A and B are shown apart, each in its own frame.
Chain A
């Protein structure tokens, strides 16, 4: 047991801490993530604080429908997706979810990370079609109205790009958890099981793979193994209760729980059943993992167990000694998160964190651990264990087997260093 771990809440803030809070929020404001919900934060707002009556209580607020489709508070304007600087074009590119600003396990639709290969198409749902053909008894075309008539399922599942964290193989590069882990989101997806559609068309005996194709300018295609298609694959038209967002595949996309994001084809227009993988560009020249030998692993679909601390995390500032709750996310493409351990000394000693339940398979799981910062430099880490018994590895362990040109599937333990001044930064240990 580490003696930095308190079992009770911190004391009330003193004057010094208030000053620190002001300084900290001035710095952290750009992230939109005040680490501390303290009192007496903004000096110029004093007129609205005790014992005065706040101005927002002395007149009517905005009417209903302001606006008709609600948006976040203007004070949350910095909680947005951020772009990568690694691509030449912004249509074949990606953007990151601000994990440091989110709570719970569900990602708001407007903050779900993006990965497009030919931009976001504007598709009229009344004209959209899904073709299902190949090794089937009855080649079919579905329109959206027909797809919505099938028995419906809704499940919460994470979505992670296999390139998530790819800048971190050799040296710490991303400043924030948005930079390092932001190609990760989790939604409640609603649609029809792919198995239902396959039964409707009648799959032939020789069928082993399914080509999924998008209706975007890249006509992105991936080969899906039949056992996955029949297991838990979904063809979905809604996320978090509303229609898919355009950048998430409106009006229709594939969801393959636990598999790499690239396979979960957006703007889904065609499914071709075949007896072998189709060897598309995405599954040969991209999304393959180069080993030190010069050979590359192919069809590495599952996202292995991974976790990351989102608070405190890179770019944030601790406002002073005292109580904090260490919070983070854990997930596994192979099943449920069984346990998350947290270390505040760079991996020497670990403590089991509390999981927010019910823990669902292939779903983001929030973990929390109470912590009292003494003001010294510390190294924060989290380590996920899933229900297969797999333990999230260190970066050194992964590199020792895979080298550093692997690109994808980096699921190493992340380290955040808290300096004695309270600054949090991304480090390798």
Chain B
């Protein structure tokens, strides 16, 4: 038996042991890579999409999260999510169309699930992935609370988090409308042709485009 056949066979056998599906999927063209078991995937699959799929068991409220926030987050993000040296977390609603937009969780973020996802994967900055699920739910609740999005005693868990509607949920435009600016490759005396510019800009409305 050739080396490649042994490899293929061991792959198939390895897959059969680890899989629950009745139908055995065929190996890929090159037979490289090892089957990923459900346990291996569960350990690494930490993302939380807008559907809330993958949220762990556990729960928390803003009331519980305040102490966690003050201990773990306030040194960087400031009390109540303001005036820290690092990104501001609260306030700013109504400023996005102004000269000085303030982008925060409350004014800008379209999904509450992203908040849980990001706190879990990357915060606290000096010790990512160190918070328990309960503490992550609680801090998520606290940040939503200081933005006036939920009450102090609202319980967040795998069933309720995805249902929260963020203020800027419909604030995003896609697909990409570019190219949105159309210059022309004028070569001579261009300032005399187009008021100093060498082409013309077309302003396209950025509202009314379906958001995703």
Interface centre among B97, B129, B191, B211 (most CB of A within 10 A): B97
Q: Which residues of A contact B40 (CB under 8 A)?
A: 131, 141
**Which A-chain residue is minimally distant from B110 (CB atoms)?**
A284
A169 to chain B, nearest CB (A): 12
- In the complex, which range does the number of interface residues on chain A fall in? 35 or more
Q: Mark B145-177, 1 if CB is under 8 A from A, else 0.
A: 000000000000000000000000001111111
Question: Is B36 located at the chain interface by the 8 A CB criterion?
Answer: yes
**In the bound complex, do residue B186 and residue A350 qualify as a contact, i.e. CB atoms below 8 Å apart?**
yes
**In the bound complex, do residue B199 and residue A393 qualify as a contact, i.e. CB atoms below 8 Å apart?**
yes
* Bound Cα distance from A142 to B86, whole angstroms: 37
Q: Which residues of B contact A274 (CB under 8 A)?
A: 49
**In the bound complex, do residue A400 and residue B201 qualify as a contact, i.e. CB atoms below 8 Å apart?**
yes
**In chain A between 302 and 347, which residues have their CB closer than 8 angstroms to a CB of chain B?**
302, 304, 339, 341, 347
**Which A-chain residue is minimally distant from B105 (CB atoms)?**
A285
B115 to chain A, nearest CB (A): 8
**In the bound complex, do residue A397 and residue B117 qualify as a contact, i.e. CB atoms below 8 Å apart?**
no
Q: Which residues of A contact B191 (CB under 8 A)?
A: 347-348
**In the bound complex, do residue B32 and residue A291 qualify as a contact, i.e. CB atoms below 8 Å apart?**
no
Q: Which residues of B contact A278 (CB under 8 A)?
A: 47, 49
Question: Is A22 located at the chain interface by the 8 A CB criterion?
Answer: no
**Chain B contact residue count (CB 8 A cutoff):** 73
**In the bound complex, do residue B122 and residue A402 qualify as a contact, i.e. CB atoms below 8 Å apart?**
no
**In the bound complex, do residue A131 and residue B41 qualify as a contact, i.e. CB atoms below 8 Å apart?**
yes
* Bound Cα distance from A299 to B172, whole angstroms: 10
Question: Is B121 located at the chain interface by the 8 A CB criterion?
Answer: yes
Q: Which of A202, A291, A383, A390 contacts B173 (CB 8 A)?
A: A291
Question: Is A88 located at the chain interface by the 8 A CB criterion?
Answer: yes
Q: Mark A144-155, 1 if CB is under 8 A from B, else 0.
A: 001101100000
Q: Which residues of B contact A143 (CB under 8 A)?
A: 34
* Bound Cα distance from A279 to B114, whole angstroms: 7
**In chain B between 25 and 80, which residues have their CB closer than 8 angstroms to a CB of chain A?**
25, 27-30, 32-36, 40-41, 44-47, 49-50
**In the bound complex, do residue A401 and residue B204 qualify as a contact, i.e. CB atoms below 8 Å apart?**
yes
Q: A140-B34, A146-B33, A221-B47 are in contact. Are A202 and B122 (CB under 8 A)?
A: no
Q: Which residues of A contact B187 (CB under 8 A)?
A: 341, 349-351
**In the bound complex, do residue A396 and residue B172 qualify as a contact, i.e. CB atoms below 8 Å apart?**
no
Q: Which residues of B contact A350 (CB under 8 A)?
A: 185-188, 190, 198
* Bound Cα distance from A200 to B33, whole angstroms: 8
Q: A219-B121, A291-B173, A405-B101 are in contact. Are A394 and B197 (CB under 8 A)?
A: yes
* Bound Cα distance from A89 to B187, whole angstroms: 46
Q: A397-B199, A401-B202 are in contact. Are A281 and B117 (CB under 8 A)?
A: yes
**In the bound complex, do residue B122 and residue A219 qualify as a contact, i.e. CB atoms below 8 Å apart?**
yes
Question: Is A375 located at the chain interface by the 8 A CB criterion?
Answer: no
**In chain A between 86 and 111, which residues have their CB closer than 8 angstroms to a CB of chain B?**
88-89, 92
Q: Which stretch of A72-80, A175-183, A210-218 is in the interface? A: A210-218
* Bound Cα distance from A398 to B183, whole angstroms: 10
Q: Which of B33, B117, B175, B188 contacts A299 (CB 8 A)?
A: B175
Question: Is B85 located at the chain interface by the 8 A CB criterion?
Answer: yes
A212 to chain B, nearest CB (A): 11
Q: A200-B30, A201-B28, A296-B171 are in contact. Are A347 and B198 (CB under 8 A)?
A: yes
* Bound Cα distance from A93 to B127, whole angstroms: 18
**In the bound complex, do residue A291 and residue B206 qualify as a contact, i.e. CB atoms below 8 Å apart?**
yes
Q: Which of B27, B97, B198 contacts A293 (CB 8 A)?
A: B97
Question: Is A117 located at the chain interface by the 8 A CB criterion?
Answer: yes
**In the bound complex, do residue A393 and residue B109 qualify as a contact, i.e. CB atoms below 8 Å apart?**
no
Question: Is B103 located at the chain interface by the 8 A CB criterion?
Answer: yes
**Which B-chain residue is minimally distant from A296 (CB atoms)?**
B172
* Bound Cα distance from A141 to B15, whole angstroms: 12
Q: Which of B44, B185, B202 contacts A270 (CB 8 A)?
A: B44
Q: Which residues of A contact B117 (CB under 8 A)?
A: 280-281
Question: Is B184 located at the chain interface by the 8 A CB criterion?
Answer: yes
**In the bound complex, do residue A138 and residue B15 qualify as a contact, i.e. CB atoms below 8 Å apart?**
yes
Question: Is B5 located at the chain interface by the 8 A CB criterion?
Answer: no
Interface centre among A92, A219, A288 (most CB of B within 10 A): A219
Q: Which residues of A contact B103 (CB under 8 A)?
A: 285, 290
Q: Which residues of A contact B182 (CB under 8 A)?
A: 391, 393
**In the bound complex, do residue A393 and residue B28 qualify as a contact, i.e. CB atoms below 8 Å apart?**
no
A271 to chain B, nearest CB (A): 11
Given contacts A350-B190, A393-B182, A393-B199, 18 further A-B pairs with CB under 8 A are A88-B86, A131-B36, A139-B35, A142-B33, A143-B34, A200-B30, A217-B125, A217-B128, A219-B46, A281-B114, A281-B122, A297-B173, A298-B174, A302-B176, A349-B187, A350-B188, A390-B179, A402-B180
List the interface of chain B (C-beta within 8 A of A). Answer: 15, 25, 27-30, 32-36, 40-41, 44-47, 49-50, 85-86, 96-97, 99, 101, 103, 105, 108-111, 113-114, 117-118, 121-122, 125, 128-129, 171-191, 197-204, 206-207, 211-212
Query: 13 A-B pairs, CB-CB below 8 angstroms?
Result: A118-B122, A141-B33, A211-B47, A217-B122, A270-B44, A276-B49, A279-B50, A279-B114, A284-B114, A293-B207, A393-B181, A393-B199, A396-B197
List the interface of chain A (C-beta within 8 A of B). Answer: 88-89, 92, 117-118, 131-133, 137-143, 146-147, 149-150, 196-197, 199-202, 211, 213, 217-219, 221, 269-270, 272, 274, 276-281, 284-285, 288, 290-302, 304, 339, 341, 347-351, 383, 385, 390-394, 396-398, 400-402, 405, 409
